């Protein structure tokens, strides 16, 4: 497995460039530094694939104009969705490019990698970059095989949170709301017909006679 350059470069950037993104919180600063290091390293891999001899020479030259050309190409890409302004992004990319070129040159000088050794080192960075940044990074630096490798983070509710939401739903359902409208059933009083007043005494008398007859049968 190749040495993990992207995390190494990000750590060195935070140490060697203390003023870079110092206006942001620690979390934001670390995020931007890592994101731009991934963007730059991916671009170097893509440039190496295009012309390894040219890039090998540029690494040992460290020409500011060449670094600026790469930085502006990344900043002006239609795929670039960085939260940073173009100005601060270009300035940061210049510093990170200079750092990465210097570190790779030092590795080559110390370990005598040569073009073949650096080719293997850079090719081995794909596994370390995979899943480490959003898709716009890989679209911008044209390392398109890494698009879709970042895992999607899904929110998982804890048992306590789930029970709390359930209890809240039950409580809400039990509480009458002000917008509830109670249906009122109105019973209309029907007018009493006149004939019922005449028939009622007759019916009452018939009931009394019936009850008297039943009583008489019980006592005899």
Q: What is the pLDDT of residues 92-149, one digit of tens each?
A: 999 999 999 999 999 999 999 999 999 999 999 999 999 999 999 999 999 999 999 9
**Buried/exposed code over 48-84 (b: 16+ C-beta within 10 A; e: otherwise):** beeeeeebbebbeeeeeebbeebbeebbebeebebeb
- C-alpha gyration radius of the chain: 42
188 falls within a domain: no
115 falls within a domain: yes
46 falls within a domain: yes
42 falls within a domain: yes
Q: Tens digit of pLDDT for each residue in 45-100? A: 999 999 999 999 999 999 999 999 999 999 999 999 999 999 999 999 999 999 99
28 falls within a domain: yes
Domain containing 33: what range? 5-146
Angle among Cα 103, 109, 111 to the nearest 5 degrees reads 95
207 falls within a domain: no
81 falls within a domain: yes
Residue 128: which of 140, 143, 114 has the closest Cα?
A: 143
Q: How many domains does the chain have?
A: 1
54 falls within a domain: yes
């Amino acid at each position: 497995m190749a040495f993990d350059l992207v995390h190494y470069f990000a750590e060195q950037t935070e140490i060697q460039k203390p003023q870079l993104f110092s206006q942001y919180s620690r979390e934001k600063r670390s995020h931007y530094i890592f994101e731009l290091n991934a963007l730059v390293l991916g671009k170097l891999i893509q440039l190496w694939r295009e012309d390894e001899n040219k890039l090998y020479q540029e690494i040992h030259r460290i020409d500011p104009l060449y670094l600026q050309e790469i930085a502006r190409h990344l900043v002006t890409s239609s795929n670039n969705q960085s939260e940073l302004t173009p100005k601060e992004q270009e300035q940061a990319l210049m510093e990170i490019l200079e750092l990465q070129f210097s570190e790779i040159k030092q590795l080559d000088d110390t370990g005598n990698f040569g073009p073949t050794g650096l080719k293997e080192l850079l090719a081995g960075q794909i596994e370390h970059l995979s899943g480490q940044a959003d898709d716009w990074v890989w679209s911008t630096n044209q390392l398109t095989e890494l698009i879709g490798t970042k895992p999607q983070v899904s929110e998982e509710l804890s048992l306590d949170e789930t029970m709390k939401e359930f209890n809240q739903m039950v409580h809400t359902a039990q509480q009458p709301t002000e917008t509830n409208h109670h249906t009122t059933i109105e019973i209309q009083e029907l007018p009493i017909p006149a004939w019922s007043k005449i028939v009622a005494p007759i019916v009452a008398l018939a009931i009394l006679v019936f009850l008297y007859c039943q009583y008489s049968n019980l006592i005899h």
